[in-house]
Amino acid sequence: WVLPALTNGGSAKILSMLRVFRLLRLAKVLRVVRVMKAFEPLRVLVQAVFSSIGALLWSMALLFLLEIIGAILLAQLLASVIKDETQDLQLRQKIWNSFGTMVRSWLTLFEITMAPGGFLQHRYLFDDVNPVVSFVIAVYVFIVTFAIIRIITALFLKETLSASDEEHRRQMAHRRERRQEYAKRLCSSLEEELEQAHIDRNGLATLLTFRRFTDWLDDASLTTF
């Protein structure tokens, strides 16, 4: 069924799909990333991202809920000002663009939450509308922008440090396994050469010149004098 499809008009689409499948060969690069020591920070970063997906989703849900609550509150507080025909028309239009609907109000609070100093552009509400509105925005900035955002940042920092510690423990376990394997090979070689696995002082001095042997002694909590 492949050859008839190639001879018909769908040959270009099928060939383009085959080129996409060729990109799967790039997955071999990930093996190099896992092995090379130079990519250790990248491995820690990727592991931290994957391990903190759950915390990321709950953080986004919490921020979205708080932004919706604040958006509804500000839209209701400023609805009377927008409808008041005695107010300045430019002021009413400006408030409408920022808080006229729940969606517009949510976008404004999203800017206040994510953009540093985003609340400063709404300073006119204190003088031209009502100080209560500015107080509500200030409370939102204190609770959400200052406190909750920093708690979420600390949570992600904790996940990153945990992933880094896990990578360090994995490397130490791998090194310990390699040294234990070296110790087993050393003992087996001694048993083959000697009837009993005993060495004299000269042989011990020769072994202590090898870095891997001294590392094995350190793992075994043995000290040399």
How much is the pLDDT for 74? Answer: 92
**Residue whose entry in the numeric block shows the structure tokens 């002694």:** 217
pLDDT at 108: 92
Distance CA 99, CA 133 (A): 11
**pLDDT score recorded for residue 6:** 46
What is the predicted pLDDT for the residue at 223?
A: 60
The pLDDT value recorded for residue 173 is 77
What does DSSP assign to residue 86? T
Contact (Cβ atoms closer than 8 angstroms) between residue 92 and residue 81? yes
- CA nearest to 121, candidates 131, 106, 111: 111
> pLDDT (tens digit, 0 to 9) for every residue of the chain, 225 residues total?
444 544 555 555 555 666 666 666 655 555 555 555 566 677 777 777 777 777 788 888 999 999 999 999 999 989 988 888 888 888 899 999 999 888 999 999 999 988 878 888 888 888 888 888 889 999 999 999 889 988 888 887 777 777 667 766 777 777 777 777 766 776 676 565 555 556 667 777 777 787 777 776 666 555 665
SS3 198: coil
pTM of the prediction? 0.58
Instruction: Please give the pLDDT value at position 48.
Output: 72
Number of C-beta neighbours around residue 135 at 10 A: 12
Two tokens at 197? 């696995």
- Segment (H or E) for 130: none
pLDDT at 50 (0 to 100): 76
- What's residue 167's pLDDT? 67
pLDDT at 155: 81
